A = this chain, B = another copy of it.
Amino acid sequence: MTSTAKLCAVCVLILLFIVCAQAQQKPCLTASKFGPEDQIGNVNYITPAKTLAATKLVTKGKAYRLGIETNKDTPAYPPRTFAVTIVQPGQNAGGSLGPTKTNYNDDLINGWAGIGSQIDGLGHIGIDNLFYNCNKSADFAMTDGLKKLGVEHVPAVATRGVLLDMAGYFNTDIVKEGTAFNRAEIEGAMKRQGIKSIEKGDVVLFYTGWLKLLGKDNKRYGSVGPGLGRDGAKYLASLEVAMIGTDTWAFEVVPFEKDAGIFEVHQILIPLNGIHVLENMNTEEMVKDQAWEFLFTLGPARITGGVQAIINPIAIK
């Protein structure tokens, strides 16, 4: 070994040492503020007091279902597909069961959970294979179900909901694709609607009119969209909201902001801040009714180890 080679070897070792030392000193990038066992993130902020206060927002008793329909024609991120199959077991040839001639239909689902209205669980998005709360892909993302961070862990959600009418803010029917909602737009919309604050444990929904394209221009609907920007995501994270939703498929603005990563807004919210993301939330009728602050309830189907879930939250004003 020449002296140059020796020196080279030495400095490689030094480099390695520096990298390793930094890695040890640095806490895991996605560590939860709720402790090493936490699997639910900011949903922790939804306390009974929070829930009780939210029920006081109900003044008219009008309940809204926020889900759109999921079927084989619902635009979906490739290669997601969906099929439902109806069967009538044991009823061949006009048969029925027993003296009261019971018939029944049953149904099979063969498809992806991420189609239509959906919640992105905390196991959905990672950063270089690191997911929420220091969970590494190889440790929990098994082919037959997530061993941690599955949607079955989401607690009962009943909290204050806030709806931001971005179409109204931009004075348009459908907010244009590529329009990012950042702090200025969020505060502007709040001011316009007379919403005084966004609070810890809230669910914040954005209305853009984008769902008006569904079934009319599925290509445009499913390829681009307005949505949350990075700064807006960080701002809402700083307010410690529990969940954020939009009436678009992508949730975040597409095309992505200049210099932004691919679905970087998802990264800011899900692994970095433990904030669940809701997509394709239909708030059209709520906007018509100016239902800006309301009781938001959600119970995703508890499929063990599921990443996402097809949902249909209920908002009550």
Contact = CB atoms under 8 A, between A and B. Distances in A.
A116 interface: yes
A316 B131 CA distance: 31
A203 to B, nearest CB: 13
A264 B107 contact: no
Interface string A222-265: 00000000000000000000000000000000000000111110
Interface SS of A by simple majority: mixed
B301 A86 contact: no
Contact of A65 (B70, B263, B299, B303): B299
A290 interface: no
A142 B145 CA distance: 20
20 contacts: A4-B11, A5-B11, A12-B12, A47-B61, A65-B155, A66-B299, A69-B152, A69-B304, A85-B143, A86-B307, A87-B87, A93-B136, A93-B138, A96-B128, A99-B262, A100-B260, A105-B123, A107-B308, A156-B315, A158-B314
A297 interface: yes
Interface stretch (A20-28, A75-83, A169-177, A208-216): A75-83
Interface residues of A, number: 122
A317 B157 CA distance: 13
Interface stretch (A31-39, A52-60, A178-186, A190-198): A52-60
Interface in A257-282: 260-264, 266-267
A32 B7 CA distance: 42
